[in-house]
Amino acid sequence: MKTIFVTGGAGYIGSICVEQLLNEGYEVAVFDNLTEGHRKAVEPRAEFFQGDLADRAVISRAIGETKPDAVMHFAANALVGESMQNPQNTFAIMSATA
């Protein structure tokens, strides 16, 4: 059975994708920091890892544990108002992942 690693799997689009993948017979691991997603949105059949993509140790551990066949990336800071009021947060994230 193939394992799919879904970043942002607790968000609206990511959680729908996770449910579809599970229904198609895939094993799914969800990685989300829950700043915009919701723990309740994560399908109970999926393995859940809470962490930030900017934390290389946490993401490496999660990927190492699940050994995914594919990654689907839905993680994002999507709140426009927040990015306009506090642009330094967006730039900090961008520089941490570069």
Residue 63 sits in a domain whose CATH number is 3.40.50.720
Q: What is the mean pLDDT of residues 37-62?
A: 95
Domain that holds residue 77: 3-97
**More confident: 84 or 41:** 41
- Per mean pLDDT, which range of 8-12, 57-61, 64-68, 84-88 is the poorest? 84-88
Contacts (Cβ under 8 Å, ≥6 apart) of 62: 5, 29, 31, 49, 51
* Number of domains within the chain: 1
- The angle formed by the CA atoms of residues 4, 7 and 12, to the nearest 5 degrees, is 105
What is the model's pLDDT at position 54? 86
Tokens of 85: 């009021």
Q: Is the pLDDT of residue 98 over 70?
A: no
What is the model's pLDDT at position 35? 87
Q: pTM (2 decimals)?
A: 0.81
What is the model's pLDDT at position 12? 93
- The angle formed by the CA atoms of residues 53, 56 and 61, to the nearest 5 degrees, is 100
Q: What is the mean pLDDT of residues 80-84?
A: 62
